[in-house]
Amino acid sequence: MAAAAVVAGLLSGCAGSRPGLPLTRWLSYSTASKAVSVTLIAGYNDAYNGFNFNGYAKGEVLVIVPRGWKVTVRCENEGAGRHSCAVVRGVGSASPAFPGAASPRPSAGFAAGKSTTFSSAADELGTYRLACLVDQHEQAGEWDVLEVTAARRPSVRLLRAAR
């Protein structure tokens, strides 16, 4: 699959032992196959006490996906404890927004140093959360935003700087 990196950007000043993953590395895509791959690394650094994806949390990052595209999420756990990844409809939602839109056993999570991949179709326009569903992780800030739109290409952008 031919993949293109999207939207340049680094978040300078992100709290933590290392800066957040550059936004250009969050996703790759193929317009020919209408497929996008999103990388989420839970516990990427110590920003937000390790409750982050790629060093960002609390809705700092927006991932935009065109409606009808296949979304594959690679979820890695670099944190100290268990983490998961899921696309959910709203705050506190414990079920995936689309069939297959979560790592296995998302409320239990998976161990540090492990990774998993899941895929689903982004068939419904709307704004969703990329969230860790392990108890209290989303409340601690381990979530960002995914929007399914009529856009022609996927993109990723910083919504606000870390506090």
pLDDT per residue over 33-78, tens digit each? 999 999 999 999 999 999 999 999 999 999 999 999 999 999 999 9
Strand pairing partners for 157? Answer: 62
- Calpha distance 98→77 (Å, rounded): 22
**Reported pTM:** 0.86
Q: How sure is the predictor about 162, in pLDDT bands with cuts at 50, 70 and 90?
A: low
**How many Å separate Cα 110 from the centre of its chain?**
16
Pairing of strands 155-158, 61-66: antiparallel
> CB-hemisphere CA count at 13 Å for 74?
10
Report pLDDT for 160: 80
Cβ atoms of residues 117 and 66 within 8 Å: no
What is the distance between the alpha carbons of residues 83 and 104, in angstroms, rounded to a whole number? 11
2: confidence class by pLDDT, cuts 50, 70, 90: very low
**Tokens 């998961």, located at residue:** 84
In CATH terms, 4-158 corresponds, of 3.40.1000.10, 3.40.50.620, 2.60.40.420, 3.30.70.100, to 2.60.40.420
Domain range annotation of the chain: 4-158
8 A C-beta contact, residue 144 and residue 65: no
Dump pLDDT digits (tens) for 109-122: 999 999 999 999 99
